[in-house]
Amino acid sequence: MDQNSRDRTNDFVVKIATVNGTGSASANGMLMQAMFRMGVPVSGKNVFPSNIQGLPTWYEIRVNKHGHLARSPNVDLMVAMNPKTYEQDIAEVRPGDAVLFDSSWPLEEELFRADVLFLGIPLSHMCVENFEGARARILMKNIAYVGAVAALLSIDLEVLEEMLEEKFSAKQHLMDSNNVAIRLGYDYAKEHFDGLLRVRIEAMDANRDSVLMTGNMAAALGCVYAGATVGAWYPITPATSLMDAFRGFCADLRKDPETGKNLYCIIQAEDELAAIGMVLGAGWMGARAFTPTSGAGLSLMNEFLGLAYYAEIPAVIFDVQRAGPSTGMPTRTQQGDFFTVAFASHGDTKHVLLFPGDPTECFYFAVKAFDLAERFQTPVFVVSDLDIGMNDWVCEKLEWDDAFVPDRGKVLSAEDLQEMDHFYRYLDVDGDGIPARSLPGVDPKGAYFTRGSGHDRFGRYTEDGDLYQDVVDRIARKIEGAAEALPPPEVRLANDATVGLVTVGSCRGAVLEAIELLAEDGMALDFLRITGFPFSSAVEEFLLSHDLNIVVEQNRDGQLKRLLMLETAVPKKKLASVLDYRGSPLGADVVVQGVRNQLGLVAVEAG
Amino acid sequence: MTQTAKPSVRHPGLKTNKLGLTQRDYEGTQSTLCAGCGHDSITAAIVQAFFELNIAPHRVAKLSGIGCSSKTPTYFLSEAHGFNSLHGRMPSIATGANAANGKLAYIGVSGDGDSLSIGLGQFCHAMRRNVNMLYMLENNGVYGLTKGQFSASADVGTKAKRGEENQMPPIDPASMALTLGASFVARSFSGDRKQLVPLIKAGLTHRGFALVDIISPCVTFNDHEGSTKSYAHTREHGHEVVETDFVPLLHEIQVEQDHGASTAVTMHDGSVVRFRSVDEHYDPTDRDAAYAHLKKLQAQGEVATGLLFIEPMSRDLHELENTVDEPLVEVPFEKLCPGSGVLAELQSHWR
Ligand SMILES: Cc1ncc(C[n+]2csc(CCOP(=O)(O)OP(=O)(O)O)c2C)c(N)n1
Ligand code: SF4
Ligand SMILES: [Mg+2]
């Protein structure tokens, strides 16, 4: 369908180009939040550089009444506030769409395009006239373009003013200047450009049961609710905000009411080797402990992850993925760590993984991860990415069942130990591959020696091949047993589809949207979203029951596809890939194109 | 090779401590180290110190890295949970364990390779955090387990078994610890049990990180002529700067009477560490003076031993982090989970 002919109310993309470190992030967030409060499905994606100040940064807001909130490249309004990127920003706009720019200085002649609407507002001039001081002028210019965009899109000014009121209620002078700035932009745009845009927003009621949150916030809150007491970490984007959030929640929610002391301990380690070591020490001691990290940190943790696997120590690791290899593009999203986490460390290992698809799942999977880690006495990875972790998503409100009892697994009490003839740490007494564990300090009978060196089922050092193998085979059985205990995959079936789209994590929205778009062209596709590893039988069944499974993921090497090849009975010829690993959140356009290519179809020009 | 259990024979006449345990109850499995290895003597001193301090073995966590030295936790306190971790990474395990449960006694055993090369970072940072633990650095100047390479503590000019001379300056854990702000720094010699046992006791009682650097000769790779970490060399060049006596809390008054002339430092729990300076005016509570003295002796080719420095009222990890008094592992779940009401309240702001 031609974009011009369709109703574009509540169906558009605004892209804002600014300079890093100028305070634009909070202004952009305000815009997105205002749209959220108007009850309209919306998403905001921050595209930012690995830099504190000075480099270009973008924020993409997509509004979609049908709830399709994956990234879309079809920009309707470009808010071009960074002269250094004018050229590329203006080139990105489609014919008939609009560019909002600061007309305090004239736009160079060659940047103009005849097929694009140029909306110039002298934002800097207005701010110089109205505010004192360089910093205030820069900050208020951001608020002024928020006002202008609000006018252009018919965002309810009252909603914005109410947000300012909440934010600055304690700081009258800030509230005053923000209100002035909003009005500057708003009034100018109303006066000069009213009704010029093809797109507009109209209040809906789609967000009644939703909240705005990032995956890292949600995961941190999951740690609080799961009863985690020890967190160790080393700062790394995009995982840092997870520990920041945990610290913030704990400061409010984890103070001993009588003494005011902390019911938690957060340690900023000297590196990730130490961070994971601390988590293992705490887990061995019986605390629920976790570490948030990203690819580079995981690489460092490898030796310890093997120890945790082999010595059977619970631990929860949040891997908020970013673009690798090496330092890669540290502020860009990717799903390139699947191999690293699935088989982390030397020797035979295999780890339990959870793949949340949005912040809501980050919360629930975080809680689940601690249960699984203790039940299976092994490290459990919650594998998200920068898009889920750091961007604000409109999410289903979180629920908590106050009857929840954490699953501590087979932890022996002093009484349990006293009743036993002998306690042997690595003896599987009930056939599920999971031995019982004792905690230090509880009872002399529980004492054993934890080691990463060869040990037999009785926990004794050994270099005897058979005794060694007995233990590693049991651990393999134990981990296989975890597959069915993980959250079930998400499956959506069309009628009589023979092709399945398989995906994971943050790709969910783009893939579901692509399925709808392709269905409009008469192509029926089933949907499978993997949520855990080792893969459950439901995953294998899905793959086997389709002629072709196209695995959509964000890495170069088709890591998820290869894992499916290795770990399920699906024949190689039933698997294909659609890959996008350029560092941006996935868009449906890429999936549609990729699927068409895979199926040998030529794109049909919409009429 | 599977480790051998020691026959458990109880002699009715064996002395018992306040818990009714004999010294044998503080032992572990049979050592598999080379006969005469310094590390085994240290193990014996550890056994004696825990026995004499009346510490219940199961209330101890014993941890180590990798190396011959790091094997020794199996040879003491068989009723304590043990953790033989990774090469150089014991401090992080100990830190996390201690964060989770600060009410156990912690003993970490490490080697000079383990602590001063691969694990130098973790060693330093555990000291900075003042993790409440006794840290035994069994220092032989070589990597024993990998067959005799020089370690970072090897002195300039010391000779390897096959004759090559070490050219690089050593990392001295004791002086480094002083500069890092460590709250307890001691040095001893595996061959001097009389000096070592009170140091271990004082270190265990100290609230904070207690480093005991112990010259512990490797008879197989570093006990020859020309080695500065041999038994002979250490006996000749060890220089006790202070005599240290550890006086547990209960005996305070009685001991007051015995040693009128020496200086005493009271520990967190009220125990007393009593010093008698061998070197004139040596003051083990003066960090800068301790450092200067150490360096002076080092320049003379002598190794200062004894309790070199103590800051008895230093703040440990838990005080620095303001954690609750009860061990975090014992806090009931209800106190940790804020519940559905709070969740709803929180989310009302996320709009
Ligand atoms: C990551 C890693 N690298 C290398 C080794 C091999 N390794 C084992 S023990 C050791 C040196 C031990 O020396 P030290 O800590 O001084 O202990 P000692 O045997 O002398 O008591 C080395 C290099 C290892 N275990 N792990
Ligand atoms: S090689 Fe050296 S350090 Fe290792 S056990 Fe033998 S004597 Fe001790
Ligand atoms: Mg050594």
Domain ranges of chain B: 23-325
Nearest to B42 by CA among B277, B237, B173, B203: B203
B343 to chain A: which residues are within 8 Å by CB?
A: 221, 225, 398-400
Cβ A270–B121 below 8 Å, yes or no? Answer: yes
**Which of B40, B41, B87 has most ligand 1 atoms within 8 Å of its beta carbon, as the pocket-test mutant?**
B87
Task: Give nearest CA residue, ligand 1 atom 5.
Answer: B87
Cβ within 8 Å of A, B 67-126: 73-74, 78-86, 89, 91-101, 103-104, 121-122, 124-125
Task: Give nearest CA residue, ligand 2 atom 1.
Answer: B144
CATH 3.40.50.720 assigned to domain A3-193? The reply is no
pLDDT at residue B277, rounded to an integer: 79
**Which of B31, B32, B33 has most ligand 2 atoms within 8 Å of its beta carbon, as the pocket-test mutant?**
B33
- What is the distance in angstroms between the Cα of B65 and the nearest Cα belonging to chain A? 10
**Tens digit of each residue's pLDDT (9 = 90 or more) over A527-557:** 999 999 999 999 999 999 999 999 999 999 9
Cβ A259–B97 below 8 Å, yes or no? Answer: no
**Tens digit of each residue's pLDDT (9 = 90 or more) over A149-179:** 999 999 999 999 999 999 999 999 999 999 9
- What is the distance in angstroms between the Cα of B21 and the nearest Cα belonging to chain A? 13
Cβ B331–A232 below 8 Å, yes or no? Answer: no
Ligand 1, CB within 6 Å, residue ranges: B 66-69, 87, 111-114, 138, 140, 142-146, 151
Beta strands in A273-314 (DSSP E): 289-293
- Lowest-confidence region among A334-348, A503-517, A585-599, B243-257: B243-257
Q: Which residue has the tokens 């008895």?
A: B312
For A393, phi and psi rounded to 5 degrees? -115, 145
Nearest CA in chain B to A266: B321
Q: Above pLDDT 90, what percent of chain A?
A: 95
Confidence check: pLDDT of A4 > 70? no
Cβ B93–A463 below 8 Å, yes or no? Answer: no
CA count, 13 A, side-chain hemisphere, A351: 33
- What is the distance in angstroms between the Cα of B66 and the nearest Cα belonging to chain A? 10
Q: What is the pLDDT averaged over residues B218-224?
A: 97
**Tens digit of each residue's pLDDT (9 = 90 or more) over B162-201:** 899 999 999 999 999 999 999 999 999 999 999 999 999 9
- A66-A69-A72 Cα angle (round to 5): 110
- Domain A213-396: which CATH number of 3.40.50.10190, 3.40.50.720, 3.30.300.30, 3.40.50.970: 3.40.50.970
B84 CA distance to ligand 1 middle (Å): 12
Helix or strand or coil: residue B265?
Answer: strand
Q: What is the pLDDT averaged over residues A8-30?
A: 94
- A179-A180-A181 Cα angle (round to 5): 90
pLDDT at residue B269, rounded to an integer: 87
Label each residue of B295-328 as H, E or C: HHHHHCCCEEEEEEEECCCCCCHHHHHCECCCCH
Task: Give nearest CA residue, ligand 1 atom 26.
Answer: B87
Confidence check: pLDDT of B46 > 50? yes
Q: Which burial class, exposed, middle or buried, applies to B259 when counting CB atoms under 10 A from its CB (0-12, 13-18, 19+)?
A: middle
Nearest residue, CB atoms, A211 vs list B94, B95, B350: B350
Q: Are A22 and A144 in contact (CB under 8 A)?
A: no
Cβ A274–B83 below 8 Å, yes or no? Answer: no
Grade residue A48 by pLDDT with cuts at 50, 70 and 90: confident
- Identify the CATH number of the domain defined by range B23-325: 3.40.50.970
* Torsional sign, CA B89, B93, B94, B96: positive
H or E, element range at A303: helix A295-311
Q: What is the pLDDT averaged over residues A67-81?
A: 96
Beta strands in A276-361 (DSSP E): 289-293, 315-321, 352-354
pLDDT at residue A461, rounded to an integer: 95
pLDDT at residue B260, rounded to an integer: 41
pLDDT at residue A51, rounded to an integer: 85
The answer to whether B59 faces chain A, any CB pair under 8 Å, is yes
Q: Are A38 and A203 in contact (CB under 8 A)?
A: yes
pLDDT at residue A178, rounded to an integer: 96
The answer to whether B334 faces chain A, any CB pair under 8 Å, is no
Grade residue B4 by pLDDT with cuts at 50, 70 and 90: low
**Tens digit of each residue's pLDDT (9 = 90 or more) over A297-331:** 999 999 999 999 999 999 999 999 999 999 999 99
What are the residues whose beta carbons fall under 8 Å from the beta carbon of A454, sequence distance 6 or more? A461, A462, A463, A464, A467, A468
B73 CA distance to ligand 3 middle (Å): 15
Confidence check: pLDDT of A601 > 90? no
Grade residue A1 by pLDDT with cuts at 50, 70 and 90: very low
Nearest residue, CB atoms, B338 vs list A224, A271, A289: A224
Q: b/e string for A517-539 if b means 16 or more Cβ within 10 A?
A: bbeeeebebbbbbbbbbbbbeeb
Rounded distance between C-alpha atoms, residue B3 and residue B21, angstroms: 24
Q: Which burial class, exposed, middle or buried, applies to A237 when counting CB atoms under 10 A from its CB (0-12, 13-18, 19+)?
A: middle
Ligand located closest to B33 CA: 2
Q: What is the pLDDT averaged over residues B133-148?
A: 97
Nearest residue, CB atoms, A261 vs list B97, B129, B322: B322
Cβ B99–A303 below 8 Å, yes or no? Answer: no
- What is the distance in angstroms between the Cα of A325 and the nearest Cα belonging to chain B? 25
pLDDT at residue B6, rounded to an integer: 60
Helix or strand or coil: residue A169?
Answer: coil
A280 to chain B: which residues are within 8 Å by CB?
A: 92-93, 96
For B205, phi and psi rounded to 5 degrees? -80, -30
Q: What is the pLDDT averaged over residues A102-121?
A: 95
CA B28 centroid distance within chain? 18
**Which of B68, B69, B72 has most ligand 2 atoms within 8 Å of its beta carbon, as the pocket-test mutant?**
B68
Nearest to A390 by CA among A294, A248, A286, A280: A294
Grade residue B254 by pLDDT with cuts at 50, 70 and 90: very low
pLDDT at residue B252, rounded to an integer: 41
Residue type, A128: V
pLDDT at residue B247, rounded to an integer: 83
User: Token pair for residue B327?
Assistant: 């061990």
pLDDT at residue B257, rounded to an integer: 36
Looking at CATH, the fold of the domain delimited by A490-606 is given as Rossmann fold (3.40.50)
pLDDT at residue B258, rounded to an integer: 42
Confidence check: pLDDT of A605 > 90? no
Rounded distance between C-alpha atoms, residue A143 and residue A25, angstroms: 11
Q: Which residue has the tokens 């106050």?
A: A402
Confidence check: pLDDT of B289 > 90? yes
Which residues make up the environment of ion ligand 3, defined by Cβ < 5 Å?
B 111-113, 140
Which pTM value belongs to this model? Answer: 0.96
Cβ A461–B335 below 8 Å, yes or no? Answer: no
Q: Are A46 and A212 in contact (CB under 8 A)?
A: no
Cβ A399–B59 below 8 Å, yes or no? Answer: no
Q: Output the CA–CA distances (angstroms, integers) from residue A240 to A28, A220, A324, A496, in the order listed.
A: 21, 11, 17, 45
Q: Are A505 and A361 in contact (CB under 8 A)?
A: no
CA A69 centroid distance within chain? 14
Q: What is the pLDDT averaged over residues A126-142?
A: 95
B88 CA distance to ligand 1 middle (Å): 8
User: Token pair for residue B276?
Assistant: 């008698």
Q: Output the CA–CA distances (angstroms, integers) from residue B20 to A410, B60, B220, in the order listed.
A: 32, 17, 39
| Two domains, one topology: A213-396 and A490-606 | yes
B74 to chain A: which residues are within 8 Å by CB?
A: 449, 461
Cβ B89–A304 below 8 Å, yes or no? Answer: yes
Nearest CA in chain A to B58: A444
B66 CA distance to ligand 1 middle (Å): 5
Cβ A440–B331 below 8 Å, yes or no? Answer: no
* Torsional sign, CA B244, B245, B247, B248: positive
The answer to whether B129 faces chain A, any CB pair under 8 Å, is yes
Rounded distance between C-alpha atoms, residue B179 and residue B187, angstroms: 15
What are the residues whose beta carbons fall under 8 Å from the beta carbon of A538, sequence distance 6 or more? A488, A489, A491
Ligand located closest to A452 CA: 1
Rounded distance between C-alpha atoms, residue B254 and residue B247, angstroms: 10
Q: Are A17 and A58 in contact (CB under 8 A)?
A: yes
- The Cβ of residue B286 has, within 10 Å, a number of other Cβ atoms equal to 13
Q: Which burial class, exposed, middle or buried, applies to A401 when counting CB atoms under 10 A from its CB (0-12, 13-18, 19+)?
A: exposed
Query: Would you list the domain boundaries of chain A?
Result: 3-193, 213-396, 414-484, 490-606
A284 has which bridge partners?
none
B218 CA distance to ligand 2 middle (Å): 5
Task: Give nearest CA residue, ligand 2 atom 4.
Answer: B144
Confidence check: pLDDT of B323 > 50? yes
What are the residues whose beta carbons fall under 8 Å from the beta carbon of A32, sequence distance 6 or more? A42, A43, A44, A59, A61, A212, A392
Cβ A275–B92 below 8 Å, yes or no? Answer: yes
Nearest residue, CB atoms, A460 vs list B3, B56, B99: B3
User: Token pair for residue A417?
Assistant: 């130990």
- The Cβ of residue B2 has, within 10 Å, a number of other Cβ atoms equal to 14
Confidence check: pLDDT of A339 > 90? yes
Ligand 2, CB within 6 Å, residue ranges: B 33-34, 37, 39, 68, 140, 144-145, 218-221
pLDDT at residue B256, rounded to an integer: 40
- The Cβ of residue A176 has, within 10 Å, a number of other Cβ atoms equal to 12
Rounded distance between C-alpha atoms, residue A178 and residue A168, angstroms: 9
Check residues B245 and B328 and name the one with the higher pLDDT.
B328
Confidence check: pLDDT of B253 > 80? no
B165 CA distance to ligand 2 middle (Å): 20
pLDDT at residue B246, rounded to an integer: 87
B125 to chain A: which residues are within 8 Å by CB?
A: 269-270, 274
Q: Output the CA–CA distances (angstroms, integers) from residue A191 to A81, A100, A185, in the order listed.
A: 21, 15, 10
CA B200 centroid distance within chain? 7
Atom of ligand 2 nearest to the CA of B68: 4
pLDDT at residue A602, rounded to an integer: 57
Q: What is the pLDDT averaged over residues B98-124?
A: 98
Check residues B13 and A436 and name the one with the higher pLDDT.
A436
Q: Which residue has the tokens 């090469």?
A: B87
Ligand located closest to B140 CA: 3
Task: Give nearest CA residue, ligand 1 atom 9.
Answer: B67
Nearest residue, CB atoms, A267 vs list B2, B3, B99: B99
Name, of B7-21, B280-294, B332-346, the range with top average pLDDT: B332-346
Cβ A462–B2 below 8 Å, yes or no? Answer: yes
Q: What is the pLDDT averaged over residues A334-360?
A: 98
The rounded mean pLDDT for chain A is: 96
